Structures are given as structure tokens and as C-alpha cells.
Amino acid sequence: MRARIVILLVFLCGLWSILIARAAFLQIIPNQRLQSLEKRQFESVVTLNARRGDVVDRNGHELAVSMATYSVFADPKIIEEPAKVRKILFRALGLQPKVIDQKIRDKKKRFVWIQRSVDRPTKDLIESNMKAQKLRGIGFVTESKRVYPNDRLLSNVLGFVGQEENGLEGLELRYNDQLKAGRKKVSMKKDARGRPLIVGSQMFTQAPDGADVQLTIDRELQFVLEQELQGAVATHEADSAVGVVLDAQTSEVLAMASSGTFDPNKASDFTPDRKRNRPVTDAFEPGSTMKTFVLAGALNSGLIEPKTQFNCEGGAFRIGKRVIHEADAHHKFEKLTASQILMYSSNIGTTKVAFKMGRDLVKDTYKQFGFGEKSGIDLPGESRGIIQGGQWSDHLLANISFGHGIAATPLQIANGYAAIANGGFLKKPFIVKSIRDSETQDVTEMKPQVIRQVLTPDAAAKMRLMLAAVTSGDGTGTNARVPGYPVAGKTGTAQKVNPNGRGYIKGGYVSSFAGFLPANDPRFVIYIAVDRPRKGYYGGSVAAPVFSRVAKFAVRRAGLAPVLINEENIIKNADLAANDVDGMDGEETRLPKRPVLSVQDTPMIASATATLKTSETNSAPKAESAQDALKPAVVDVATSDILRKAASADPNAAVPNLEGLTLREVLTRISGTGVKIRVHGEGVVSKTVPAAGTSLAAKELNIYLNH
């Protein structure tokens, strides 16, 4: 009997030892299978979105941010009184009772989304009612929601996100991987009966943030551009308008806009057409703004110089069975220099330049400036534009030379002008300045990239001078002027292609202006295009004033001092030194320090001072300065003759009427006459002493300027 008891005791002790050892093994030694089983029994996994990174402008102002929001979920298995829960959710969320019932009465499910992204007051209302009635089964998850604090500002560029915070358009789409980061799987604990352990009816997540993206955009400049485009559409009863502002030296996008924007906070309320980023996606026939590139190509190849003359056929030039006319029926030019062709925007003159270049060189020039290919900007949906292939006929070559029969985007045109402004280098435009990683805080800076050199520095300098002449008193772009800052640019008035058939819309035009400032040291390139204006249609009267107002804000925003002209830099100028300009009385006038025909010692002109010869034919001229090459385009011969008579002590010489002219225009007319001038004040000429019509026997003229 005793032996049996001992054997039983040993057996029981051994059994307990095995059980204890097994328990210790299970508790201490990791077991992947058991851990997996535990998770299935005691945890429910919910996938949530990480906090999307912020988008800010170049000065750190928020453009797109993610804010905390709450998503409502239910565990149908532990809801004991579904009718009461349904009533609470109906009052707080406004969902249909049938929809709520379908979600909370499915006892097979342990997790059901009721509604995503509700605000704090709604969450508090549901929570308080559930507690008051001692109900269970409703919880909350803290998530992030995309918000655009500036409403419509920059909306076509920013784009928007979907329900799951995936980028669907614009920058949100292009940089979705960087902004989005990763999705976070959150474990929700359950008790032994499988019921969720909801602490305070809410779950929190520490999902990693997405990267923050800083743009090259200036928010204030963007606002002004959008306001001006909307104003132009309203004033001229146009279909739409677009605008682009680039940094002239780097091709950074400082502003990019279309009229008729949308609110990305309510993106689903707007049509796809309203969401399109037109400066990047829409290509159209640009018109005369393309003449700049034809002349630039001819200059760069050495085929012409600014003073090369062309016969403009009195306003009508027959090519085969067709006749090319000037845009303005009143223009019946005979001979024009290359600079005058650009200044007066002569279709026939540009055609003659294109014929001198030949089809292949014109086509290659356009391609060199980036037309017919994507610029590579970091935005989705960019159009290549259209450069026709095959063998161009003479008539097609003529049309393409002045901007018809070719399609380009506003961004391509602006970037082409930037290449002229920066000295001849085509650069890749970009809109993201830097990306900051939210985990490591590492910042990746974007740098300007040169695509290729398209002009020599000499040719670029001459083109800047010629484009500056376009905004002179006789040019088509006078309305683009900005007081105190020299402007270089070109107008464009193109017939609008009929989108529903062949040919052009009768009476339909695209009015545009492309240019940069200050012309002597370019900082901003601006392109404005107004689609089908009903009140006015010339680019010089529709788009140029918009350019002027945007440019005026841009230079003031950048803190650029007005370009001043004073006694010292006038006398140093080789062109004006012979005039013995005298006595500025210590005053400075707010006019370009580097006017179109002046300041030969400036860096802008330094590379263009190779001498050129005047030519009466279409052959390339030789000697003379780049400034002299422009003189035939701007000098008032009648005024100059009067002043030369005065300088030669002709008693019959009288003072010409200079009232209303700028100092630059006065200096142009007086250049080479030998008459001394004294300048007082700033602005435009309000009076002269001696007065207009009186004798100028003293060979000295006092000019009084006033705003």
C-alpha cells in the first residue's frame, strides 16, 4: 500500500513538473505560432492613412496642410440597442437610417466604418449621447484630413486628393509618394470574448508623417496674378486667361495661374475642365510672340544684324497663290530693319527673315528653344506642343514664322524668353524648391538645370535690346511699361483655331504679351495670354496692361530699386557723350540706367559692342555698336533735324514739342544734335524752357519732368 502511494506521488510530481516546465516554456520561450494565434484572438487590425506632408510656398506660407479629424466606426457584435444607436448617429451625421442599420446590425463583423473625417463637435456630440444612454459599440479613430487654407489660390497647380488621401491631380499627384509616406496598421485590443477594448471611445495612431514640400511659388505674387487674370477676363469679356511668372535666371516658377479656378476643398463639385492646369497642359497657336525666336535664330547664325534691312512690300507679299498681309491693315511698310520688324511686329518682315534662314534652320531654332518637346517641369499632364513635320511649303514657313501653324504652351513660351533674358541658356523650369523628410529632417534642395545653350551671349544681348525697343514710344508694347524699370517683350495677336472644325474662329483671337524686366538685368519673365476677348483683341491693348500690373507688383515685392539715370552715367555713355549732356542739378530721374540706345559700358551691352556695318540690302551689316543698330527704329528724324539746326546757330530753329515724352524718348531724339540739356524732376516732360515753338538759338534746353 505504501509503495503504491509513493509511486502515485512520484507520478503526480512528475506530471506537475512537466506541466510547469511546459508553462514556463510557453511563457518564456518565443513561439511565432502562438503569437500569431494570440493576435488573431485578442487584436483587430485597422489600416489608417499617415499624416500627409505639408505644401508651403517659398516663404513658408501654408498652401496645403493636414489637420486632425475623426472617423467613426462600430463593433456591431457588442451593440445591444441598435435602434438607440441608429437614432444618435442619424442626428449627428445625417446618414439615412437604412444605411446605418445595414452597418450596425451585421453581427458577423467586428469593425465597420460609419463615416470618415468628421469634425470635433460632431465627435463630441456622438460621444456624449452614447455615454448618457450607457450604450456601447461606437468608437473613433484620429486621422488627418487634407485642407487648402487659401481656398482657390494656386488650386490648378496644387491639385487635390481623394477619400484615401491619394493625390489625384497637380502637385498632389506628382509628389504623392513623398507627401503620402506609408499607410499605418493600428492594432485594436479585444477582451477574451472578442470585444474591442475602446479606451474613451477613441483610438490614436502615431503614423509617420509624409515629407514637407516647399515650392518656388510666391503666394502674394500668385494672388496678384490670379486677380489680374480674372479682371482681364471680365474687362474684355474673354473666355479665359492664363499667366506664368518665372525667375529669369533660374526658370523657377514664381506664379502660374488660369482664370476660372476651383476650390480643392470641394473638388468633386467642379468639372474636370476647371481643374486643368492650362499653362502646362494647353497648347495653342501663340502668334507674334514667336517672331522673337525666329529673329533670335537669324541673329545667332550670323545671317542678320539689328540694322539689316528688309523690303516689306508695302503691306502685301504674294507667296504662290496666297498673299501675306500685316496684322494691322493700316501698316504698309516699305523697308524695315530687323529691329523695326520686331518693334512694329511685321508679318512680312518676319517672313523675309524666315526665308533667309530656310526651313531647316527655322525648325531647328524652334526646337532649340524647347518647342515641340516637354520642358520637363515637375508637374503632370505637360503638353509637348506641335511643330509640324515633313517638308514645309513657303506659305507654311511664312505662317509658322509669325506664330501660326505651330502650337506651344504658355510655359514653353515663357521659358523661351527666359533663355534670352539669362544670356542664352535654356533651363529646365521647376516648381519644387525643396523636400524635407519628416523622420530624418534631411532637406533635398532642387537646383537649376541647364538643358542647352541656344544663343551666344552677344546674340542674347542684341535680342534684349531689340525687345526693349518694342516697349518704346513707337513699339507695339508701350502698354507693358513699368515706371522706373525698363521692360523688354513682345506682343502677340493670334487668330484662334476652331476647336470644332477646320480653320479659325471668325473674330476670335488669343491676345498675349511675353517679356521680362528689368531689361538691363532681368529678374522676372512674365507671359500673359487672354483667350478670345470680345472687347479689344490686340495683344498690346489686352495682355500688355496685365503684364505691366503684374510686373509692377513683382519688382516691388522683390524690393528692386528703380533703375536710375543720372549725370554720371549719361556722360560716361559713348553714345551720348558727344551731346555734352549737362547739369542734372544733383537730381536723379526714375528712368532706365541702361536705356535702349544708351549705357554702352553696362554688363548687358558689353557682349554686344562688336561693331556692325550698315547695309542697304538684306546682307549682314558690319560695323557700329549694337545700340546704333537700333537707332533707325526709334529716332524722330524731324525733331533731330530741328535740334541740329539749333546747334548750328540757325536763328530760325525753334524748340520742338516734347510734352508727354519720357526722358528716354527725349534723349533718343536729341542724340547727335549737339544741344545741351538740363533735366529737372522725374516722370514725363511737362514743359521745356525755352517753350515749344520759341527760338533755340542758345543751344541749351531745360526739360522739366513731372509724374
- pLDDT the model gives residue 582: 32
Place of cell 478670345: 532
646: helix, coil or strand? helix
**Number of separate helices (H) and strands (E) present in the chain:** 26, 26
Mean per-residue pLDDT, 425-441: 92
**Does the pLDDT value for residue 562 go beyond 90?**
no
Q: What CATH architecture is 45-215?
A: Alpha-Beta Complex (3.90)
Average pLDDT, the chain: 81
Longest dimension (CA), the chain: 158
As given in the structure block, the three cell numbers for residue 152 are 482657390
Q: Tens digit of pLDDT for each residue in 140-173? A: 887 778 899 999 999 999 999 987 788 999 999 9
Enumerate residues 6+ apart whose C-beta is below 8 A from 34. Answer: 26
Average pLDDT over residues 653-668: 73
pLDDT value at position 438? 80
In Å, how far are 178, 689, 701 from 166, measured between CA atoms? Answer: 11, 71, 70
- pLDDT tens digits, one per residue of 347-364: 999 999 999 999 999 999
The arithmetic mean of pLDDT across residues 448-463, rounded, is 95
Say yes or no: do domains 45-215 and 219-263+278-436+447-557 share a fold.
Answer: no
H-assigned helices in 169-263: 170-174, 176-180, 219-236
Is the distance from CB of 341 to CB of 354 less than 8 angstroms?
no
DSSP string, 446-469: ----EEEE-S-HHHHHHHHHHHHH
Q: Distance between CA 107 and CA 282 in Å, rounded?
A: 53
Question: Is residue 92 predicted with pLDDT exceeding 70?
Answer: yes
Round to whole Å and give the CA distance between 164 and 144. Answer: 10
Identify the CATH homologous superfamily for domain 219-263+278-436+447-557: DD-peptidase/beta-lactamase superfamily (3.40.710.10)
Interatomic CA distance for residues 445 and 285, integer angstroms: 35
Residue 207 has pLDDT above 70, yes or no: no
Question: Once rounded to an integer, what is the mean pLDDT over residues 257-284?
Answer: 92
Of 186-190, 400-404, 484-488, where does mean pLDDT reach its minimum?
186-190
Say how far apart CA 353 and CA 260 lie, in whole Å.
39
Stretch 559-580: mean pLDDT, rounded?
A: 47
Instruction: Please write the tens of the pLDDT for every residue from 116-136.
Output: 888 889 989 998 999 998 888
Instruction: Give the other-Cβ count within 10 Å of 355's Cβ.
Output: 18
Run of H or E including 22: helix 2-28
3-state DSSP assignment of residue 471: coil
* Confidence at residue 39, expressed as pLDDT on a 0 to 100 scale: 63
pLDDT at residue 574, as a whole number: 30
Domain boundaries, the chain: 45-215, 219-263+278-436+447-557, 567-706
Weakest-pLDDT range from 5-9, 254-258, 584-588: 584-588
The fraction of the chain above a pLDDT of 70, given in percent, is: 79
pLDDT digit string, tens, across residues 572-629 = 333 332 333 333 333 333 333 333 333 222 333 223 333 233 333 333 333 333 344 3
Q: What is the pLDDT of residues 510-533, one digit of tens each?
A: 999 999 999 989 999 999 999 999
Q: Is the pLDDT of residue 237 over 70?
A: yes
Residue 561, C-beta contacts closer than 8 angstroms, at least 6 positions apart = none
Of 9-13, 177-181, 383-387, 656-660, give the lowest mean pLDDT range. 656-660
Of 52-56, 64-68, 241-245, 402-406, the least confident: 64-68
Q: Give the mean pLDDT of 635-660.
A: 58
pLDDT of 698 reads 62
Q: Give the contacts of 535 (CB within 8 A, at least 6 positions apart).
A: 235, 236, 237
In angstroms, how far is CA 565 from the centroid of its own chain?
32
pLDDT for residue 289 is more than 90: yes
Q: Which segments of 159-266 does DSSP mark as H helices, in order?
A: 170-174, 176-180, 219-236
Among 387, 306, 169, 287, smallest CA distance to 597 is for 306
Q: Is 507 left (phi over 0), alpha (psi -120 to 50) or beta?
A: left
Question: 199-203, 332-336, 658-662: which range is least confident on average?
Answer: 199-203
260 versus 407: the higher-pLDDT residue is: 407
What is the Cα–Cα distance from 643 to 658, expressed in whole angstroms? 12
